[in-house]
Amino acid sequence: MGYFFYLTLSFLYFLLFINGAIGDPLTIGSTCKAASQSDSKLSYDFCVAALKSDPKSRTADLKGLGIISIELSISNATNVVSNIAKLLKDKSIDPFAKTVLEDCLDLYSDAIPTLKEAVGKFNSKDYYQANVDVSSAMDASSTCEDGFKERKGVVSPLTKENHDIFQLTAISLAIIEMFH
């Protein structure tokens, strides 16, 4: 009887410990610290600010933070698509910049459904496909930015947007990797 009680008590402590280990120290700070250590291009400060921008992140576990990060990329990419559409309406736009912007529009329009698929794959523990999907959205941001570099004197109007998507997808990839 005493032994059983002891076991029960130990089990309770164990549960509290697990809960503490999984629920508490997995704050945004420690997740972003681990993520930015695993990817030298990922900024810790960007990661913290981005995840904190969603109030759900305060009570989210690691998996929740992963989903939140992908959702941030989806809403970001959606905003970028409408920004590009606005830029394309400008009649005075340089013809070269226009062709690149059109490519960027295609890239980001494709990235949105791909990121939505990534949420489902991540939820169903298909970390491989989630990684492939998020990586392709990350590639969209660098392909878009590189397009403007192909002609001297052309300045990318999307540097901040591409940088933000790159960082957001880097957060997702680092978190997906933690489940791998």
Ligand X SMILES: *[C@@H]1O[C@H](CO)[C@@H](O)[C@H](O)[C@H]1NC(C)=O
Q: Which residues bind ligand X (CB under 6 A)?
A: 50, 53, 72, 76, 79-80, 161, 164
CA-to-CA distance for 95 and 132, rounded, in angstroms? 33
Nearest approach in angstroms of CB 164 to ligand X is 4
We find the least distance from the C-beta atom of residue 62 to ligand X, in angstroms, to be: 19
- CB 83 to ligand X: min, Å: 6
Do the beta carbons of residue 65 and residue 175 sit within 8 Å?
yes
Left, alpha or beta for 125 (phi > 0: left; psi -120 to 50: alpha)?
Answer: left
Burial (0-12, 13-18, 19+ Cβ within 10 Å), 165: buried
Q: Residue 37 or 79: which CB sits closer to ligand X?
A: 79
Whichever of 43 and 131 has its CB closer to ligand X, that residue is 43
Q: Using CB atoms, what's the residue nearest to ligand X?
A: 79
- Cα–Cα distance between 146 and 110 in angstroms, integer? 18
| Nearer to ligand X among residue 76 and residue 172 (C-beta) | 76
Return d(Cα 46, Cα 30) in angstroms, integer. 14
Minimal distance, residue 112 CB to ligand X, in Å: 13
> Among residues 50 and 130, whose Cβ is nearest to ligand X?
50
Q: Least distance (Å) from ligand X to the CB of residue 43?
A: 11
Taking the least distance from each CB to ligand X, the nearer of 19 and 53 is 53
The angle that helices 159-179 and 127-149 make with each other, rounded to 10 degrees, is 160
